[in-house]
Amino acid sequence: MALIRAIIKHPILSGLLAVTIGGIVVLTLIVAFLDQIKWVLSDQFWFSNILSLAIFGGIMTAVAYCILLERKISAWIQDRYGPNRVGPLGLLQPLADGVKLLLKEDITPGHVDKALFVLAPFMMFVVALIGFAVVPWGGTFRWPWMDADATPLVAQVASIDIAVIYLLAVGSMGVYGVVLGGWASNNKYAFYGAMRAAAQMISYEIPLGLVVLTAVITVGYLLPVDHAMDCLRLEGAVAAQAPHAASWTMWVVFYHPVAALLMFIAALAEANRAPFDLAEAEQELIGGFHTEYSAMKWAMFFLGEYAHMITSSAFMVCLFWGGYHLPYCTWLSTDESALAMLCRIGVIGAKIAIFIGAYMVVRWSLPRFRFDQLMRLAWKSLVPMGLVILAAQVLIVYYGWPQWISIVVNLGVLVLAAIASLTNAMPISGRQQSLLIKEKAAREKEYELQHAGV
């Protein structure tokens, strides 16, 4: 009795005891219900449900560690160490951040629109999360206990016909959270931030849509004719980029390098990331749309932003960068074992992680655009370039030309942009020529007025 009491009171031993008992209970349950578990995992409906829970957990962890990575990368770029106190190498920092944010006072200012104020962060967060439903994580596979001729499972939460359109729609819903938050805050800085976000989102939807359309058409052209309608499914887009012996290229990015770049820029703007983070703009708008938010509601905005980053990276990886395929790895693409499925999840995860890293390096390298520069970049550069690439791709498909022509078109678009920049000189502040002429005239007029009496 005394021994048991001593163990229960001991902080480490009691924890070990609890873990052991819990582990034994779980193992017993698994062994007892092994057949049922196997059946549930083999059924596509139940497997999708379990996968969605697993992905939710995985994404939440990934988002928390994205925040740590962001702080680490910003520190490294500025010759610092970053958070390194909580746990080994600071790896438990997200936990400490979460506890701190949960325990903070959650202030709702008196002058806000309460319903919308509470709704906005959840809107942003939920919208950023539901995009993961259509991402093809691991392709088709069979569990080891399934028959060799059984219908393989798809490691994807929902395999819908219009995944690309769904992702575009859900991605642009993200701005609702920002606009609602800014409006409900009843604060002019927050409102400025929200309005900027709305205008920015409208502008950058267009190049994003053009580029996505280009990729979809390319994928439809690359797919076998009887599967061409799969081009709007993300797993169809990924399947089109599988390595096969007949072709020396496989990813859409090799056919459309400039389009991939445009998509990256538009995705940065869609996710409200620097250098397009005008909606937040700490220096001018003291945080923009989330000025009035604190504690967990603010954290929801933050998590939503990072979840949105992961969604848009996954979107880019699936459309342009070959999803879970690697060059020359036919085993990875065709094998239908559970191990290959896990490897595929690892590959797509690694590609997404590379994009997240790129997002972060961009954020800590580039200064923020001014609003007119932002608009000019969208309407005068990205939209025309996207249009030319799209038109060229449509012509290629219509006349059945070889796909490599698009590479020439993509590079040609860059050359055209260089030539266009040669023809009209722009002052270093980037202000419009007409405004500068007006200002100069006004200066001279003022001078004349001052000397009129002399």
Partner 1 sequence: MPASDWKKTDVMNVDQPTLTTAERLYLPQIFGGFKTTLRHMFSVHVRNKKVIQYPEQRRQLRKEIYRGVHRLNRDDQGRVACVACFMCETACPAHCIHIVGEESPWQDREKYPVQFDIDELRCIYCGMCEEACPVDAIELTPEFHLVGRSREEMIFDKEKLLMVYDRTKDEKPRKNPRITGY
Determine the Cα–Cα distance for residues 444 and 454; give it in Å rounded to an integer. Answer: 16
- List the one residue out of 93, 117, 94 whose CA is nearest residue 106: 117
Judged on CB neighbours under 10 Å (0-12, 13-18, 19+), 344 is buried
Judged on CB neighbours under 10 Å (0-12, 13-18, 19+), 98 is middle
Cis before residue 275, ω within 30 degrees of 0? Answer: yes
> Which helix (DSSP H) or strand (DSSP E) does residue 154 occupy?
strand 153-154
Residue 433 CB, nearest distance to partner 1 (Å)? 10
Nearer to partner 1 by Cβ, of 118 and 417: the residue is: 417
Residue 67 CB, nearest distance to partner 1 (Å)? 18
Residue 424 CB, nearest distance to partner 1 (Å)? 9
Residue 376 CB, nearest distance to partner 1 (Å)? 11
Residue 84 CB, nearest distance to partner 1 (Å)? 8
Please answer whether residues 100 and 282 qualify as being in contact, where contact means their C-beta atoms are separated by less than 8 angstroms: no
Nearer to partner 1 by Cβ, of 395 and 416: the residue is: 416
Residue 348 CB, nearest distance to partner 1 (Å)? 25
Residue 447 CB, nearest distance to partner 1 (Å)? 6
Chain residues in the site for partner 1 (CB under 8 A): 73, 76-81, 361, 364-366, 377, 414, 417-418, 421-422, 425-431, 436, 440, 443-444, 447, 450-451, 453-454
Residue with tokens 């395999």: 159
Nearer to partner 1 by Cβ, of 283 and 429: the residue is: 429
Nearer to partner 1 by Cβ, of 3 and 418: the residue is: 418
Please answer whether residues 297 and 118 qualify as being in contact, where contact means their C-beta atoms are separated by less than 8 angstroms: yes
Question: With b meaning 16 or more CB within 10 Å and e meaning fewer, what string describes 210-232?
Answer: bbbbbbbbbbbbbbeeeeeebbb
Tally of residues, the chain: 454
Residue 79 CB, nearest distance to partner 1 (Å)? 5
Nearer to partner 1 by Cβ, of 337 and 365: the residue is: 365
Nearer to partner 1 by Cβ, of 94 and 275: the residue is: 275
Question: With b meaning 16 or more CB within 10 Å and e meaning fewer, what string describes 307-342?
Answer: bbbbbbbbbbbbbbbbbbbbeebeebbebeebebbe
Nearer to partner 1 by Cβ, of 195 and 261: the residue is: 261
Nearer to partner 1 by Cβ, of 8 and 366: the residue is: 366
Residue 388 CB, nearest distance to partner 1 (Å)? 16
Residue 386 CB, nearest distance to partner 1 (Å)? 16
- List the one residue out of 383, 321, 328 whose CA is nearest residue 353: 321
CA angle (404, 410, 411) in 5-degree steps: 100
- Strand 140-141 and strand 153-154: pairing? antiparallel
Residue 377 CB, nearest distance to partner 1 (Å)? 8
Query: 247 has which bridge partners?
Result: none
Nearer to partner 1 by Cβ, of 176 and 364: the residue is: 364
- In one-letter notation, the amino acid at residue 19 is V
Nearer to partner 1 by Cβ, of 38 and 431: the residue is: 431
Nearer to partner 1 by Cβ, of 326 and 377: the residue is: 377
Nearer to partner 1 by Cβ, of 77 and 165: the residue is: 77
Residue 59 CB, nearest distance to partner 1 (Å)? 26
> Which helix (DSSP H) or strand (DSSP E) does residue 141 occupy?
strand 140-141
DSSP 80-127: ---S-SSSGGGTTHHHHHHHHHHHS-----TTS-HHHHHHHHHHHHHH
- List the one residue out of 39, 42, 36 whose CA is nearest residue 152: 42
Q: What does the block give as tokens for 252?
A: 């859409």
